[in-house]
């Protein structure tokens, strides 16, 4: 029997971090030929992940432009994928999550009538403009996909509510697979600014903020709250690896630049990030991925958004929605700094998003779909 050609398509940092362990897992199966098509929606931030996981793209559309628009990402990916699909002729295309690469990759596959497997399927806020454009990217990708790899039971329920076509598997999130080997007690940072931090005697807050719907006033209010927090608490350090988006960099530099206990650094590689979070006091973020990783490390998270498609850790008590209003963000962060009781309530390690075995489940589901194994993978149970 010929090998199944499975093509993984990804292009941004979070997709790469969460697809890398799956690409490695697929390569272990003799029945599968695993290939990668990178869109290059992110250039430096994608390359850094590929290097860490020792992976190479078989195809690279290299689409990134400075201050790119949603339309340029989508059209360049769609046109580039046409050529790659004609050449590679994959049996299935895997996409991840909810970026423009995800949606355009799935759409290109659909135009060629190639089945799509959607990794991290079924996350929803039910608000089409928040997160923007991710909610619609993932909903449309779900409409196209044949196999849906839902991380949690709640994600599967969202898909059932939409009467989605295809097969749903509950797999856990591959983010947790990615973390398995990265956090080590003896880890030494190669970013000098991180080695200079005194994690033993000072409380370090990890901050990230990059979402498009936070551009403008919400981001200014969030970062102003952080500014006031660090002025009121000279005993804390805030570390902010600033996303390479020019909009984000301008705002971060303007509001937080020059403060003694705020460390604005370039994005760090994923091992640095995981080990930084593991040594931190808490995390403040509008990122999706950090909401999954920090709870596994026992770190409280304040989410700098109005909603989240990841309610599981809120239910478990380790994540709270802080919103985007300056006063609320400031008050919620102050409480975690000033009340030991409030802090300890949130600082517990929970794993509602996965057990580190999402990738083997997804590989087995693909083999099952193509009739190469009789056993459907057992669902992940939190």
138, 148, 156, 243: the active-site residue: 243
On the 0-12 / 13-18 / 19+ scale of CB atoms within 10 A, 131 is buried
Stated as kind and residue range, the H or E segment containing 240 is: strand 236-241
The verdict on whether 98 is a catalytic residue reads yes
Segment 183 to 242, residues that bind ligand UD1, using CB under 6 A: 210, 212
Which one of ligand UD1, ligand UDP, none is in contact with 364 (Cβ closer than 5 to 8 A by kind)?
A: none
Concatenate the DSSP letters of all residues of 304-373 into one string: -SS--S--HHHHHTSEEE--S-HHHHHHHHHHHHH-HHHHHHH-----TT--S-HHHHHHHHHHHHTTS-
- Min dist CB 128 to ligand UDP, Å, is 17
Which of 25, 60, 120, 134 touches ligand UD1 by CB under 6 A? 134
Which of 208, 275, 308, 318 touches ligand UDP by CB under 6 A? 208
Which one, 77 or 208, has the nearer CB to ligand UDP?
208
Q: Among candidates 152, 146, 142, which has minimal Cα distance to 173? A: 152
Q: For residue 246, state whether it binds ligand UD1 (rule: CB under 6 A).
A: yes
The verdict on whether 203 is a catalytic residue reads no
Could you identify the residue written with the tokens 């947790």?
Answer: 176
Report in angstroms the alpha-carbon separations of 260 from 43, 184, 189, 263.
31, 29, 21, 8
Which DSSP letter does residue 214 get? G
Our measurement of the distance from residue 73's CA atom to the centroid of its chain's CA atoms, rounded to an integer in Å, reads 18
Stated as kind and residue range, the H or E segment containing 275 is: helix 270-279
Q: For residue 135, state whether it binds ligand UDP (rule: CB under 6 A).
A: no
- Min dist CB 360 to ligand UDP, Å, is 20
15, 120, 237, 292: the active-site residue: 120
Which one of ligand UD1, ligand UDP, none is in contact with 67 (Cβ closer than 5 to 8 A by kind)?
A: ligand UD1
In the complex, which residues of this chain contact ligand UD1 (CB under 6 A)?
A: 12-14, 41-45, 65-68, 70, 73, 98-100, 133-134, 210, 212, 243-246
What residues are labeled active site? 98, 120, 134, 210, 212, 243
Residues interacting with ligand UDP, by CB under 6 A? 13-14, 17, 208, 210, 241, 267-270, 273, 287-290, 293
């Amino acid at each position: 029997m010929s090998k199944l050609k499975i093509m993984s398509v990804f292009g941004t940092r979070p997709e790469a971090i969460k697809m890398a362990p799956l690409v490695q897992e697929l390569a272990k199966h003799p029945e599968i030929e695993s290939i990668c098509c990178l869109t290059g929606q992110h250039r430096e931030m994608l390359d850094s992940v590929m290097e860490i996981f020792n992976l190479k793209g078989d195809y690279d559309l290299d689409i990134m432009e400075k201050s790119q628009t949603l339309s340029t990402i989508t059209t360049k990916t769609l046109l580039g994928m046409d050529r790659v699909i004609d050449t590679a002729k994959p049996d299935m295309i895997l996409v991840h999550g909810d970026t423009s690469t995800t949606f355009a990759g799935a759409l290109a596959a659909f135009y060629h009538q190639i089945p799509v497997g959607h990794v991290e399927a079924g996350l929803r806020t039910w608000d089409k403009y928040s997160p923007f454009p991710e909610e619609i990217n993932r909903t449309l990708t779900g409409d196209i996909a044949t196999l849906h790899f839902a991380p949690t039971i709640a994600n599967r329920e969202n898909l059932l509510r939409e009467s989605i076509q295809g097969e749903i598997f509950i797999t856990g999130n591959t983010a947790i697979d990615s973390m398995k080997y990265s956090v080590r007690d003896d880890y030494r940072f190669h970013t000098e600014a991180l080695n200079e931090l005194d994690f033993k005697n000072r409380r370090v807050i990890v901050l990230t903020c990059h979402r498009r719907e936070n551009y403008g006033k919400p981001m200014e209010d969030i970062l102003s709250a952080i500014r006031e927090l660090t002025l009121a608490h000279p005993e804390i350090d805030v570390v902010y690896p600033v996303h390479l988006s020019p909009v984000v960099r301008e705002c971060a530099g303007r509001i937080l630049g020059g403060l003694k206990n705020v460390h604005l650094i370039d994005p760090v590689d994923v091992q640095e990030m995981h080990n930084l979070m593991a040594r931190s006091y808490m995390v403040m973020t509008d990122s999706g991925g950090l909401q999954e990783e920090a709870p596994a490390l026992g770190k409280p998270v304040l989410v700098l958004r109005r909603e989240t498609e990841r309610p599981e850790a809120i239910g478990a008590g380790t994540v709270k929605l802080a919103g985007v209003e300056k006063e609320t963000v400031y008050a919620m962060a102050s409480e975690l700094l000033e009340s030991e009781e409030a802090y300890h309530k949130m600082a517990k390690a929970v794993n509602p998003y996965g057990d580190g075995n999402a990738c083997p489940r997804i590989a087995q589901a693909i083999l099952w779909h193509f009739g190469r194994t009789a056993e459907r993978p057992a669902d992940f149970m939190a």
